[in-house]
Structure 1
Amino acid sequence: MKRHKLIFLSIIILFFFGCDKDENNPKESLAESFLFEDGFETQNDLLDELFPSNGSRWSNIQQTNPSNAINEISISDTEFNEGQNALRVLAYQSDSDLSKVDIEKNGLNIISGDKVTIKADFYIVGTASIENLLLIDLECCSCWDPTVGDNYGSENQCPGVRLMMSGGNDFLSIERGKISGTTMQQTNFPFPRNQWVTVQWEMTMSESENGFNRLVIDGTEVINEVGMNMPNAEVFRDVFLNQGIDFTLQEPTFYERVQIGATANPTAGNIELFVDDFSIKVE
């Protein structure tokens, strides 16, 4: 009898120790979070400092000049929101070539179901119309069908979602044309000019219509809509079939890069802007 009591007591002790071990060492979540942030701070006001050899900051610059001018990108120490520096961009108006100049972060792995928050401060100089100016692109270049190549236009080879001035001059909206969706447009809150403005773009990623899309400008919510925000294989197949092209969206489908600046300037004028305090968070 005594022996049975000892065995029973041992089992109880082992049970409590096992529970204590599980509580102190909970299982790690299978989902990995990701955060990249950069305030464009440098020691010597040199753009090269944003591209260290260890890849911890930015990846490269995207620059397409119009035929009659050369776009500019540099570090500013005169106009900034925090710290002592900001990114300065000057994009001349497009002609036969679509003008663009921006900075790019590669190596992302944003998939369906991820919650993404992109935040940045912008200062757009002047009061002229900036309709169709693009500020942020989230792109999937690896999902493009390599057999199609640039037969559909090289500009379309990286499908994605973008922030674009739309609806007349300066209403920042969510543009989805490169994934064959309509623009989520707002015309209630014009983008403030000649001052620092905080933009926050939130998404729950989905290739179906249950994706979540929210845009906040200086603390004011201007868009809160559900809708597709990732390339959809069936949609792409149908769109291309209408033009006699057999297209297969490549898998796995994920967004691997983000761009910020004047990601395209199809406006009728030159654009000068500054960017500060960028961050992208993926959960």
Structure 2
Amino acid sequence: MTEVRQDPIWRLFSLSFAAILAILVAAPTLEARETYNFSDDFEVSRLNDLLKEDKSRWTHYQNTFPQNKAEIVPEAAPSGGSALRFFAVPSTKKVSKSDIEKEGFELRPGQEVRVAALFFLPPNADLKDLFLIDIECRECWPQDSIYPNQSPGVRLKLRDRDGTPSVERRKIGHPDMRNDLRDSVGLPRGRWFKLEWRLTLSDDEKGSSEILIDDNRVFFGRGPTLPSSQAFEKWGIRLREIMYDRFQIGITANSTPGPIEMLIDDVSFQLE
């Protein structure tokens, strides 16, 4: 039998080619997904300590009336540490806001988002039409639009005096999301509780929204959770992108009959 000899250089090339081929075959299963994690426990002395120039913490504090404010409250959290207190007067023709905002990320279709925080609401407070969390897009609006930037997005809204949570979608061109769960549950008042909002992002029926109170599911709905480009085009507005790039937490809108205050702590924001 004639011995077939293989040149060492060719053998090396063969091995390299086989390795490259294996990587190419496996590549579709190694789908890269952007992740983003942010959290804050407000263990600082002043509100301004949360607003770093490098934006490593919060981007800025938003208030729309001079009476509205936010402040660090020592020894107010369940852990004995600091918490963040918000106060806002009722809205007039102008929306009353007192919240803190975080930017520096991009939320795209198909991704999942989780926002969670500890809240303390005053006993017997009327919570109807109080907004707690907004997830929006500042950069989606066309630069040459004759209409002011509406920052399309979804918002966690309390729809009655007892604070039953719901998902408001007016700013993305859809009615409020329907709760598929049978029982409606209001938020606790006069004690600390955990509120978590989970979103699957989509501009069609693949989207979903889930709200939990103290790890118990109280809301679940399906449907669009991102702006619909077709809905905005009806108004002559061509959105630059379909995504979200900021979230706000606190009193993002006080449409209740009177002034409102609250404490929050241990905020977390996760993108998967």
TM-score normalized by structure 2?
0.86
Pair 1:279-2:272 in alignment: no
> Which residue, 213, 216, 220 being the options, matches 2:216?
220
> Which residue, 34, 43, 54 being the options, matches 1:41?
43
Answer yes or no: is the 8 Å Cα contact 1:39–1:82 preserved in 2.
no
> Which residue, 184, 189, 193 being the options, matches 1:188?
184
Say how many residue pairs are matched.
264
Q: Which runs of 4+ in 1 moved over 4 A?
A: 5-8, 26-29
1:20-39 equivalent positions in 2, closer than 5 A: 29-39=31-41
Instruction: Provide Cα deviations, 1:73-97, integer angstroms capped at 9, x if missing partner.
Output: 0111132133611111011112232
- For 2:146 and 2:187, the matched residues in 1 are separated by 37
Q: 2:246 matched to which residue of 1? A: 257
Answer yes or no: is the 8 Å Cα contact 2:165–2:219 preserved in 1.
no
Pair 1:247-2:240 in alignment: no
Deviation at 1:273, TM superposition (A): 0.4
Instruction: Provide Cα deviations, 1:222-275, integer angstroms capped at 9, x if missing partner.
Output: 12221001011101122x2xxxxx22121x322110000000001111111011
- For 2:170 and 2:271, the matched residues in 1 are separated by 23
Instruction: Provide Cα deviations, 1:113-161, integer angstroms capped at 9, x if missing partner.
Output: 11111111111113121111000000012112333344xxx5x611100
Answer yes or no: is the 8 Å Cα contact 1:124–1:195 preserved in 2.
yes
Deviation at 1:6, TM superposition (A): 6.9
Q: 2:169 matched to which residue of 1? A: 176
Q: 1:91 matched to which residue of 2? A: 88
Letter in 2 for 1:138: I
Q: 2:104 matched to which residue of 1? A: 107
- For 2:78 and 2:168, the matched residues in 1 are separated by 27
Q: 2:68 matched to which residue of 1? A: 71
Letter in 1 for 2:51: F
> SS of the residue aligned with 2:233?
helix
Q: 1:208 matched to which residue of 2? A: 204
Going from structure 1 to structure 2, the CA distance change for 1:71 and 1:2 (only over 3 Å counts) comes to: farther
Answer yes or no: is the 8 Å Cα contact 1:119–1:201 preserved in 2.
yes
The root-mean-square deviation of aligned C-alpha atoms, in Å, is: 2.8
**Where does structure 2 lack aligned partners over 5 or more consecutive residues?**
none
Going from structure 1 to structure 2, the CA distance change for 1:271 and 1:167 (only over 3 Å counts) comes to: closer
Pair 1:236-2:232 in alignment: yes
> Which residue, 114, 118, 122 being the options, matches 2:115?
118
Going from structure 1 to structure 2, the CA distance change for 1:126 and 1:113 (only over 3 Å counts) comes to: same
Q: 1:51 matched to which residue of 2? A: 51
Q: 1:130 matched to which residue of 2? A: 127
Letter in 2 for 1:222: V
Letter in 1 for 2:271: V
**Where does structure 1 lack aligned partners over 5 or more consecutive residues?**
241-245
Answer yes or no: is the 8 Å Cα contact 1:82–1:276 preserved in 2.
no
